[in-house]
Amino acid sequence: MIKVGDSLPTATLMEYSEVEGEGCSIGPNPVDVAKASAGKTIALFALPGAFTPTCSAKHVPGYVENQAALQAAGVDEIWCVSVNDAFVMGAWARDQKTAGKVRMLADGSADFAKATGLTLDLTARGMGLRSNRYSMLVKDGKVAALNVEGPGKFEVSDAATLLKQAQG
């Protein structure tokens, strides 16, 4: 499992863009994790799935609400990573009103989740291999803080906990 001090794994996530600009086409665009995190402080949180109850009611809204405070604490970007496709993440972004606040990044094949060692097997519930619920503070591609939830819990990966760590 990834730990504090480790570099983020080499992976490509996908991001749905609804508007054309800055060289991005409309639709899914690849996000090279190493390039996108280089020289930045990232508040990254991951969760089992888009549109799921805890994720939609608590996890994402907390980061949207705390975006300005996280930015004031030195966070350049907030990333939400989930094992869903880019189209689902795009629809969820619209639903959660994350535009300009949280980047909704798709890990469609769970490659990033597998590479971090933070997978959650929900096959018995018909959801397949997913990401565990966690948050991490990433500085220049390296993990500075890591908060992994226990099974079925939402206690340490919330925005308030990561904000305290960013304020350090």
| Segments in 21-158 forming alpha helices (H) | 33-37, 53-54, 60-65, 67-72, 86-96, 111-116
Instruction: For residue 137, give the DSSP letter.
Output: E
User: How many other CB atoms are there within 10 angstroms of residue 160's CB atom?
Assistant: 10
- Residues serving a catalytic function are 55
Closest to 108 measured CA to CA, from 9, 16, 6: 16
